[in-house]
Structure 1
Amino acid sequence: MIKARIHVTLKNGVLDPQGKAIEGALGSLGFAGVGSVRQGKVFDVELEGSDADAARAQLEEMCAKLLANTVIENYAVELR
């Protein structure tokens, strides 16, 4: 079994209204000094098999086809 974690984040320059809302809420809760917040997504995926290269290729394809909108999002695949 191969375990992976995929981090999906908005590309630089893409507006992040949810991040801005979180940033404002943190300030309202008394957390001073928060300069910027960007939100993202994390996916934990388990794949059958033991071939790390094949798993990475399959995970990259999953990201490109479904998990990330590659026009506005970056993703990083981490095998665990």
Structure 2
Amino acid sequence: MKYCGKVVVTLKPGVFDPQGMTIRNALHALSYREVEEVETGKYFRVTLEARTREEAERRVREMCDQLLANPVIEQYTFEVQEIR
């Protein structure tokens, strides 16, 4: 079966986000003064073959742990859906 893994990687709480600060300042310059904070991250969509949903979830978790997220400064969430 084919599955689609959707992964969102963000910085852990307390890790400085210079890109987020730059975006927040640019939004303020564009008169969006109500913006208090911007957090940046990464989004990945991975299509894979697996026998079961559990196997697909395990494989996506392994991908995140080994490559897609830096465990020192980043955290991730993901969901896996069957592709019909």
CA RMSD of aligned residues (A): 0.9
TM-score of the pair, normalised by structure 2: 0.90
Q: Distance in 2 between matches of 1:11 and 1:51?
A: 31
Displaced runs of 4 or more, over 4 A: none
Identify the range of structure 1 (29-38 vs 8-17) with the bigger mean alpha-carbon deviation: 29-38
Whether the 8 Å contact between 1:7 and 1:76 is mirrored in structure 2 is yes
What does residue range 41-56 of structure 1 map to in structure 2 within 5 Å? 41-56=42-57
Q: Distance in 2 between matches of 1:49 and 1:75?
A: 21
Look up the equivalent residue of 2:25 and give its one-letter code.
G
Look up the equivalent residue of 2:44 and give its one-letter code.
F
Q: Distance in 2 between matches of 1:77 and 1:45?
A: 10
Higher share of residues assigned strand: 2
Gaps of 5+ in 1: none
Identify the range of structure 1 (49-58 vs 9-18) with the bigger mean alpha-carbon deviation: 49-58
Matched pairs, number = 80
